[in-house]
Structure 1
Amino acid sequence: MTFSWRRRMGLRGGVGKNESSKGSNLDLEYTIPTHFRCPISLDLMKDPVTLSTGITYDRESIEKWIDAGHVTCPVTNQVLRNFEQIPNHSIRKMIQDWCVENKSSGVERIPTPRIPIHPYEVSEICSRILAATQRLDARKCLELLGKIKKLAKESERNKRCLVEHGMGVALASSFNSFACFSIDTHLDLLKEILSALTWTFPLEQEGVSKLKSNISLRSMVWFLKNEDDLSSRQNAICVLKELIYADQDCVDGLMEIEGIEENLFQIVKVPICPKATKATLMVIQHVMSFEEKSVIFTLRIIQMGLVSLILEILVDGDKSVCEKALGVLDSLCDRKEGRESAYENALTIPLLVKKILRVSDTATEFSISSLWKLSLGENGNAMVEAVQLGAFQKLLVVLQIGSVERTKEKVTELLKLMNLYRDKLDCFDSSMGLKYLKIRRN
């Protein structure tokens, strides 16, 4: 078996050779010993490990195999007695020596892999974080956080191990304790904890309980206000998004914080990055879904001009952000004030019609739902404009290609309303009237 190693002579001082010499050096094939290859990927092994069956694999490949639910050795098909992966230092050293021997031909030496973290090491670090937190030893906590981040960056396996063995709970407890003492005094530590918390979800309930406390929520909202620290603002909104989806009590806690509407509005108005914008839109939509609890929140954020901001996002936002923005607009149209604000903006109907069948199935459903809600208002011009923009034809397509039942019902109602204008508008093709449409009913 052979493995093709390609080197670029221009990067190694080879430019200037004659064409025949250059061509012969650009594509070189070397025979790799079979036992240097992973039996799964057939690539050169970077971190060879041996299973209980005695077969050696590259760690990344065999971990994917095991994570997929397999309990057998891929080569022997024997049931694994355990999933322990023992580093094969002999093979790894031989592979490295082979790479060194071929270095002059463009083969790079594989680095010596780091040993993955073990669950008992995670438990030990968590215990040390909690002990340092009890002493309010911020310096020690920062030191341990540095170690945690380094381990997490080394591999996804390390990150999973940290998450699965309680690191999120330890960090949540530490954040709550130091926030209770003083945000200003422990600002750097709280920033680092927030950054680490972004990849520890989903959290165990104990961790969620610590972060949904009044002081923890207020601390995260405090970070949202800090316009000079974009990274911490992004981390804070991402953690808040995970929290409110994990426990609805967090919504109650957020509603008690004065100025939360303004803080969320500003992140949408002055974007940090698509990730932060998307998280903020998800927080706003989720909060508004609790109608009885969020009436004041919704009214305030409408008065601030959220509808106009949403429409600006829809003009040039990417697919994922557009979906979230349409979801928020749909929720805003549940209220009379939201519909009135939508009517006042000339972009509303054109953008809703444009997004049908253009972004995704989810975006189409939100667009249709918003149009349906706007059609029920007192402003009859919305339907006239939608028809003029080709909404009728698009809705016919939606109905024919299929959609969820609630969307079908809204499409059918919209088509009936729009059909009333077929003889009144020049842009309306009478041959596509509702009487020619076979509406499927279950």
Structure 2
Amino acid sequence: MAREKRRQELYVTVPSLFRCPISMDLMNSPVSLCTGVTYDRSSIEKWLALGHNTCPATMQTLLSTHTTPNLTLRRLIQLWLSHADVTQASPTSCISKQQAAEIVVAGEFDADSLEKVIGFLTASKENLNFFVAQSSAAVSKLVEVFANSDQIRICELIVEILDLISPENGVAERLADLILQSGDGGDCLSSLAMVLQKGNIKSKVKSAKILEMIAVIKPQSHRKIAEKPGLLYELYILSTVEIDTSAVEASLSALIAISTTRLVKKELIRFGTVRTIGEILSGSDYSAPVRGVVEKALAMLETIATCTEGRGAICEDGKCVVEIVKRLMKCSGVATEHGITVLWSVCCLARDRVAQEKVRLVNGLTKVLLVMQSDCSANAKQMCGELVKVLGAKNSKSNLAPYETRTTHITPY
């Protein structure tokens, strides 16, 4: 009996490369998506069966749901298993369930104990489930320490733990409530702002994801998040990190989720978000990791373009309109529809002549025609039709001037 109890408390730390990004368990049959990310076959097939058309790890829209067996990784896993001792684990790499529970109950978190908890959570899906089963006590303790700590390392580690447990059933809602309710003697939003300002890039990305999660679950939180001193600005600054596309994408995703009021949009415009997005679009290539950034950048512009000040800022910027036209049908269908919406906002809704002329000068009319004949949504086709009328109105010398929306063929440019 004692031997069995001891066996249950010992774990092998599975290399992160061998764990499925969805289940966090060792992959039995690793397969890769078109994005290059590898998952366990059973996990990704369940994800796709639910109707998802995105890569779970990167949230990129999938051009194809076909999976390819990753034979090299499978051989590496088999080789590792043949040499791994599955009954023992290094005492420094993982702790037992009892030790994890004791750390949570004590609630006296220091860097060492938090690192042990992270090692415990990442060791296996079973460990994560065990920890989440105590979520009522564990999450409350973690949020309390996070709200009251002024030590950046402690806050970074807690952010990592919260990011690990938040996808589990019911934890995100509980976590959002606790973070928004904090304030007596501590403030979680201020701690998140501190991590965004002083933390390492990994913890900044996780902080942005937590803020996005809160904004999605609790729409009433948007004003509170936006009004927290420094928080919105630090999120914007994260979008300017050129060396890390994951940071830019996480920042833009969070800003899109928060930017539901005109006040927030005006503040982002004041920071220089339109200019920053213009630089992102002009500097991005079309590789898989960058596609997500381009999609989010255009979605952010679409959000900003819903207010008068936003449309004005886009029209005044020297790069945005031109770069949007260049991105049409070059990245993804989602990005193209975001781009069409922005162009419609400035050329048709705002009737800005400068923007209209910029679109014409970069062959925008032809590209809009091509988009209209692609497999885009009905709303996008309608906006394309209105753009054609506006852009072709002063192009009397062009044979495209009398174009009708019923046309069925356009010569590619």
- Please indicate, yes or no, whether the TM-score normalized by the shorter chain is above 0.5: yes
Pairwise CA distance, 1:145: 3.2
**Does the 8 Å contact 2:241/2:248 carry over to 1?**
no
**Does the 8 Å contact 2:201/2:247 carry over to 1?**
no
Pairwise CA distance, 1:60: 2.6
**Does the 8 Å contact 1:126/1:166 carry over to 2?**
no
C-alpha distance in 1, partners of 2:97/2:152?
26
Pairwise CA distance, 1:345: 1.7
* Distance of aligned partners of 1:417 and 1:66 in 2 relative to their CA distance in 1, 3 Å threshold: closer
C-alpha distance in 2, partners of 1:238/1:189?
18
Equivalences for residues 4-403 of structure 1 within 5 A = 60-61=28-29, 110-114=82-86, 124=98, 127-133=101-107, 137-139=108-110, 142-155=111-124, 157-158=125-126, 161=129, 165-166=132-133, 171-180=138-147, 182-184=148-150, 187-203=152-168, 204=170, 205-214=173-182, 215-226=187-198, 229-271=200-242, 273-288=244-259, 290-291=260-261, 295-317=262-284, 318-375=290-347, 376-403=349-376
The residue identity in structure 1 corresponding to 2:345 is: K
**Does the 8 Å contact 2:275/2:317 carry over to 1?**
yes
Asked if 1:435 is matched to 2:400, the reply is no
* SS at 1:212 equivalent: helix
RMSD across aligned C-alpha pairs, in angstroms?
A: 3.4
C-alpha distance in 2, partners of 1:436/1:409?
9
Pairwise CA distance, 1:279: 1.2
Deviations 1:236-270 (A, max 9, x none): 22322222223223323312312333222222234
C-alpha distance in 2, partners of 1:435/1:61?
52
The match for 2:49 is none
Pairwise CA distance, 1:122: 8.5
Higher relative contact order (Cα pairs below 8 Å, separated by 6+ residues): 2
* Distance of aligned partners of 1:383 and 1:431 in 2 relative to their CA distance in 1, 3 Å threshold: closer
Deviations 1:83-140 (A, max 9, x none): xxxxxxxxxxxxxxxxxxxxxxxx98822243599xxx9975664344112xxx224x
TM-score normalized by the length of structure 1: 0.65
* Distance of aligned partners of 1:64 and 1:258 in 2 relative to their CA distance in 1, 3 Å threshold: closer
Q: Which runs of 5+ in 1 are unaligned?
A: 1-45, 47-57, 70-106
Asked if 1:413 is matched to 2:386, the reply is yes
Deviations 1:1-21 (A, max 9, x none): xxxxxxxxxxxxxxxxxxxxx
The residue identity in structure 2 corresponding to 1:174 is: K
The residue identity in structure 1 corresponding to 2:119 is: K
* Distance of aligned partners of 1:262 and 1:384 in 2 relative to their CA distance in 1, 3 Å threshold: same
* SS at 1:309 equivalent: helix
Pairwise CA distance, 1:194: 0.9
**Does the 8 Å contact 1:307/1:329 carry over to 2?**
yes
The residue identity in structure 2 corresponding to 1:263 is: E
* Distance of aligned partners of 1:59 and 1:391 in 2 relative to their CA distance in 1, 3 Å threshold: closer
* Distance of aligned partners of 1:240 and 1:113 in 2 relative to their CA distance in 1, 3 Å threshold: farther
* SS at 1:258 equivalent: coil
Deviations 1:367-393 (A, max 9, x none): 100000001224213223212322222
Q: Which has the larger radius of gyration?
A: 1
* Distance of aligned partners of 1:336 and 1:178 in 2 relative to their CA distance in 1, 3 Å threshold: same
**Does the 8 Å contact 1:167/1:200 carry over to 2?**
no
**Does the 8 Å contact 1:126/1:167 carry over to 2?**
no
**Does the 8 Å contact 1:223/1:236 carry over to 2?**
yes
C-alpha distance in 2, partners of 1:122/1:208?
28
Instruction: Give the % identical residues.
Output: 19
C-alpha distance in 2, partners of 1:66/1:359?
29
The residue identity in structure 2 corresponding to 1:297 is: V
Deviations 1:3-45 (A, max 9, x none): xxxxxxxxxxxxxxxxxxxxxxxxxxxxxxxxxxxxxxxxxxx
C-alpha distance in 2, partners of 1:153/1:127?
15
The residue identity in structure 1 corresponding to 2:269 is: I
* Distance of aligned partners of 1:64 and 1:263 in 2 relative to their CA distance in 1, 3 Å threshold: closer
Pairwise CA distance, 1:273: 2.1
C-alpha distance in 2, partners of 1:256/1:436?
46
* Distance of aligned partners of 1:382 and 1:110 in 2 relative to their CA distance in 1, 3 Å threshold: same
The match for 1:42 is none
**Does the 8 Å contact 2:176/2:217 carry over to 1?**
yes
Q: Which runs of 5+ in 2 are unaligned?
A: 1-17, 19-25, 31-38, 47-78, 90-94, 285-289
After TM superposition, the structure 1 stretch with the greater mean CA deviation from structure 2, 210-219 or 338-347, is 210-219
C-alpha distance in 1, partners of 2:253/2:340?
19
The residue identity in structure 2 corresponding to 1:212 is: L
* SS at 2:82 equivalent: coil
Pairwise CA distance, 1:320: 0.7
**Does the 8 Å contact 2:209/2:254 carry over to 1?**
no
Deviations 1:257-309 (A, max 9, x none): 12333222222234562212111111111112x23xxx222212212211000
Deviations 1:342-381 (A, max 9, x none): 1222212211111110010011001100000001224213
C-alpha distance in 2, partners of 1:385/1:187?
47
The residue identity in structure 2 corresponding to 1:147 is: K
The number of residue pairs the alignment matches comes to 326
C-alpha distance in 1, partners of 2:177/2:233?
25
